[in-house]
Chains A and B, each alone.
Chain A
Amino acid sequence: MNMTDLDGSILSLVTFIPLAGALLLLLFPRRDRDIKVFALVVSLLTFVASLHLPAHFQRGQAAAFQFEHDNIWISSPNIHYHMGVDGISMWLIVLTTFLTPLCVLISWNSIHERVKEFFILLLVLETALIGVFTSLDLFLFYFFWEATLIPMALLIGMYGHGRRVYAAIKFFLYTMIASMFMLAAILWLYARVGSFDFVTVQNAIRDGQVQDFSGAAIWLFLGFFIAFAVKVPLFPFHTWLPDAHVEAPTAGSVLLAGVLLKMGTYGMLRFNLGLFPDQARHNAPWIMILALIGIIYGALVAMVQPNLKKLIAYSSISHLGFVVLGIFSFTQAGLDGATYVMLAHGVSTGGLFMLAGIIYERKHTYDIAEFGGLATPMPRYATFFLFIVLASVGLPLLNGFVGEFLVLSGAFQARAVYGVLGATGVIWSACYLLWMYQRVFFGKVTHPENQSIPDMNLRERAALWPAAAMALVMGVAPLLWLNAIDPSVKNVLAPFAQLASKVGGR
């Protein structure tokens, strides 16, 4: 096929390959092995297809969105099937397609019942997640945004642990009620602008063509913001997250932490900054304070968690605080860093959840006190774990460092005290992660039955190797990613020009 032809349809292709796979899976007989293999093939195929994006992305180009595709979906109301990506959303798509095959691999043996439904839900979820990042029509965006809820809630509720039903319902209601506010804001904008198209709405607002905008702007900003803040989750909207994570099956946690949370930060970046720059600037102080509280509070709570998975969940709250801090610093470095943290956190926290899942399969508990001295019986596992922990802590030359460094330098530029407080978060994360590592792996084996615990098998290593390798590459060669992110961040920051020029380059 001609490459230029492919450019127009590649986004639809990447978005809908998993859905097509899920539909085919419906027809499969209930032979679990075939289903797993097929799901793996489909997710790998999606990943390969998505690599077309970075391969053909025009990095030097100033055009905001690439691989665009714009068709009328419904003529009245004026809804378009408008897809397109910039450097930010492109990498988030690749992150999604990268993590999904790993999720398939890690769920290979942990799912015994209703295997077919599990992989169907996983693939449907992948389509919805990719759709969120590709949509350039507010309606289409909302459509995919809500569509992620059902498969995720079902994954938690059907395949989770003990209190799974409670966690699933809490997750569903929390995020759904919050997104209602976003829907109301979208509808208000449509009623005034007559279009759902992101660029059209953006231009209409910028040129002051929207009636009654000045009075409503703050409410619109908050309508979008609350939906995103719950998803991130920003303190104090975070209470659904630990429950959802602890009860979710491993693959659910990986996608939840790896991608779903980024929907929130991506939404802030794209919509709160993109549509309402003035309001974003006015509200930045309290949002940054909430982000800082999230960083520190998440870290402190993580420190005292007896449950391995809950610890990782709270560490996510802390790390996502960095992302919000970076976004609302309105600096080139801060936004570059925020985007980079999103990607890095997806890889390393995804890795941590996979590792937690591996030990759960053997011990059927996440209780840290049940482990201890595991480095002796499980040397490979301990090595992988250490590597991913160090990546997550932000050791230089691994992926966590780059993003956090950029975010903190952005925060310093915005206001020094933000940078100082944010920097403590790095220290905290080293504390709780390394302390957890010490309790799980070092010393003598505290529980005799752990002496004979089997180490990682080939399939598990196959799931972890890509994550570990990616953590290293992202740490050593961040420019591979940043050269696409940087111009897009410039576009996002264009309305903040006077502020950005004051602080100068990165």
Chain B
Amino acid sequence: MNIAGHPLPQLVDYIRILPEIVLSVFGMIIMLLDPIMDDRANQKILGIIALIGSLAAIAASIYQAQFPGLGFWEMVRVDSFSIFFHVLIAAITAVVILTSYEYMEVQQIRAGEYYALILLGAVGMSLMSSAVELVLIFVALEISSISTYVLAGFRRRAAISSESSVKYFLLGSFATAFFLYGVALMFGATGSTNITVIGDVLSSGDIPVLAYVGIALIFVGLGFKVAAAPFHIWTPDVYEGAPSPIVGFMSTAPKAAVFAVLLRIVFEAHAPGHVWLIWVMAALSMTLGNIGALVQDNVKRLLAYSSIAHAGYLLVAFAALPHDGIPSAMFYTASYAAMNVGAFAIVSHFGGAGERYVTMEDYAGLGRRSPLLALALTIFLLSLIGIPMTGGFFAKFYVFSAALQANLVGLTIIGVLNSAVGAYYYLRIIVVMYMREPRIEAPLPRIPAGLGTAVAISLAATIYLGTLPGRVLEYASQSVADLVR
């Protein structure tokens, strides 16, 4: 039997979306169990189920690696590139679930749909990294976005959280509309929405003007999602209001997915004129992000601006040649995920009930009040600065050397100067933690097990990427062949 002339999907097609299936099933199980068990003590069980779900998704992604190729009428493709992002997204999900485990109790938030939304969001993000069809990418982008809109507003008692959610939703919908419009124009220009076909058309000769417009609109939509300037205005407000573990999640996992899409569009679809678009976006993001962060007093807002700056550093890789650009961008997403999820885990713990303690002043003396977490946060911040021995160092290093290989001297200089500026505000946090007297002498609550595990994993990943980056980079380098043919 055929559907519209296409053969029915085979078993292998389902294996090629196995991680997505696993995540959806676990998400639905949680949704179903939630109403049955409204006893607060049982809510922890949902967290454990969610954790198992994300770990199963990692296993499924690794299993999937044995079945590379196209699936579902050439809409998804499993290759080492997609596996990399699947594992990364599922790992971020697992760590964020661990971070949230005690957070929900401290903030007195009902956990049921929270965990389900994280898992369902991860479905969309995973799908984005394996989709090679612009319409499917759009659907996946919506799945991922809608769950993050809701998650951003999860601190129901805080007005600021609702503001964050609505703002994110309104501006986000606007941005996805741009993306969709761009897809439509691309279809008009090339006669296809399949990335491979588009790539063949665009590399074969005359590029219609429509394609330039289409690419520009797609970049607007995706630029919004990764919080790249000049589409970054929403970021500080949304990050400030959203629950801290969720900020850790949405500043890394959806971004990783969108960067995967961008990599496919830039390098596989041979997006015309992308170098200049990227050049401007990268330079603006780095500069505006760092300058904005300099004057922040709220740690969450500071990290929001820093994430804009990091999107800028990452975009530099997209302007480079594919051979160096792709692996360095992939490495950057991974190490940024490790350090940022870790940092927000600690911010969520320091925040206390209602996330009251999030300003610089509240961080004074934490080096004494909570030595272990302060040390961990210091390492994450040093990694964000890009100090040797941390993942952030090699991430910047690879990106900038890729840019130099492509002779982007100007952009590299802007990037290097920006990282020097960036050092200042990260350092400020370290300084207040260690060199100022605490306002409240009382030691913080004991480090809860889930959070401790989450921080330990992020820390191990940050240091691993900072001392032995070889294996991850080599793996990422294999993906070059998947994208560039």
- Which residues of A are interface residues toward B (Cβ below 8 A)? 73-77, 114, 142-144, 146-147, 149-150, 154, 157-158, 164-165, 168-169, 172-173, 176-177, 180-181, 183-184, 187-188, 190-191
Partner of B431, one of A74, A77, A157: A157
By beta carbon, the residue of chain A nearest B466 is A143
A191 in contact with B435 (CB, 8 Å): no
What per-residue 1/0 map shows which CB atoms of B398-439 lie under 8 Å from chain A? 101100110000001100110110011001000100111000
A169 touches B477 (CB 8 A): no
Tell me whether B292 is interfacial, beta carbon within 8 Å: no
Interface size for chain B: under 10, 10 to 19, 20 to 34, or 35 or more residues? 20 to 34
CB distance from B428 to the nearest CB of A (A): 8
Contact B404 A157 (CB under 8 A): no
Q: CB within 8 A of B435: which of A164, A176, A183?
A: A164
Is B470 in the interface zone, CB < 8 Å from A? yes
- List chain A residues, Cβ under 8 A from B65: none
Q: Is B166 an interface residue (CB 8 A)?
A: no
**Cβ contact of A74, chosen from B367, B424, B473, cutoff 8 A:** B473
When the two chains form their complex, are residues A157 and B434 in contact, meaning their CB atoms are under 8 A apart? Answer: yes
* Chain A, residue nearest B428 (CB): A169
B469 within 8 A of partner (CB): yes
> Residue A76 contacts which of B389, B413, B474 (CB distance < 8 angstroms)?
B474
Q: Does B197 contact A (CB under 8 A)?
A: no
Q: A75-B470, A77-B401, A147-B389 are in contact. Are A158 and B420 (CB under 8 A)?
A: no
Measured CB to CB, the nearest residue on chain A to B413 is A184
List B contacts of A75 (CB < 8 A): 470, 474
A142 nearest CB across to chain B (Å): 7
The reply to whether B435 and A184 contact each other, CB–CB distance below 8 Å, is: no
Q: Which residue of A lies closest to B404 (CB)?
A: A191
**For the complex, is B45 an interface residue (Cβ under 8 Å from A)?**
no
Is the CB–CB distance between A150 and B382 below 8 Å?
Answer: yes
In whole angstroms, what is the CA distance A176 to B427 when docked? 12
Q: Are B388 and A188 in contact (CB under 8 A)?
A: no
Q: Does B136 contact A (CB under 8 A)?
A: no
Q: How far is the CB of B423 from chain A (nearest CB, A)?
A: 6
**In the complex, B387 has a CB within 8 A of chain A:** yes
CB distance from A252 to the nearest CB of B (A): 14
Nearest-neighbour CB distance to chain A for B476, whole angstroms, equals: 10
Contact among B367, B404, B427, B474 for A187, CB-based, below 8 A = B404
**Smallest distance from the beta carbon of B162 to chain A beta carbons, Å?**
38
A to B CB contacts below 8 Å, 25 in the list: A73-B470, A74-B469, A74-B470, A114-B368, A143-B388, A143-B389, A146-B387, A147-B388, A147-B389, A154-B434, A157-B431, A158-B434, A158-B435, A168-B435, A169-B427, A172-B423, A176-B420, A180-B416, A180-B419, A180-B420, A181-B416, A183-B416, A184-B413, A184-B416, A187-B404
A156: min CB distance to chain B, Å: 9
Identify B423's interface contact among A74, A147, A173, CB under 8 A.
Answer: A173
Number of A-B residue pairs having CB atoms within 8 Å of each other in the complex? 72
**Docked pose: A193 CA to B50 CA in angstroms:** 49
* C-alpha spacing A150/B434, complex, angstroms: 13
A204 to B468, CA, bound (A): 28
Closest-by-CB residue of B relative to A116 is B371
Q: Please, which residues of chain A bring their CB within 8 A of the CB of B427?
A: 169, 172-173
Choose one: B387, B424, B434, B436; the contact of A173 (CB below 8 Å).
Answer: B424
**One of B367, B397, B431, B470 near A165 (C-beta < 8 A):** B431
Q: How far is the CB of B408 from chain A (nearest CB, A)?
A: 11
Q: Given A187-B401, A187-B412, 16 more contacts at CB 8 Å?
A: A75-B470, A76-B473, A76-B477, A77-B398, A146-B387, A146-B388, A147-B389, A157-B434, A158-B435, A165-B436, A172-B423, A173-B427, A177-B423, A180-B420, A181-B416, A187-B397
Distance in angstroms between the alpha carbons of A184 and B468 in the assembled complex: 22
CA distance A114 to B387 in the complex (A): 24
Nearest residue, chain B, Cβ from A139: B397
Q: What residues of chain B lie closer than 8 Å to A168, measured between beta carbons?
A: 431, 435
Residues on A with beta carbons closer than 8 Å to the beta carbon of B436: 165
Cα–Cα distance between A190 and B435 once the two chains are bound (Å) = 39
Q: For chain B, residues 142 to 178, give those with C-beta under 8 angstroms from any C-beta of chain A.
A: none
**A316, B427: Cα distance in complex, Å:** 28
In the complex, residue of chain A having the shortest beta-carbon distance to the beta carbon of B474: A76
Q: Are B405 and A191 in contact (CB under 8 A)?
A: yes
**CB-based contact A187/B400 at 8 Å:** yes
B397 proximity list for chain A (CB < 8 A): 187
Cα–Cα distance between A187 and B474 once the two chains are bound (Å):
19
* A173, B398: Cα distance in complex, Å: 23
CB-nearest residue of chain B to A164: B435
Least CB distance, B185 to chain A, in whole angstroms: 37
Residue among B398, B412, B470 with the most chain A CB within 10 A? B470
B322 to chain A, nearest CB (A): 15
B residues less than 8 Å from A188 (CB atoms)? 404
**Residues of chain B with a CB closer than 8 A to A176's CB:** 420, 423
Which chain A positions have C-beta within 8 A of B387? 146-147, 149-150
- B405: chain A residues at CB < 8 Å are 191
> Chain B residues near A183 (CB, 8 Å)?
416
- Asked if residues A177 and B435 are in contact (CB atoms below 8 Å), the reply is no
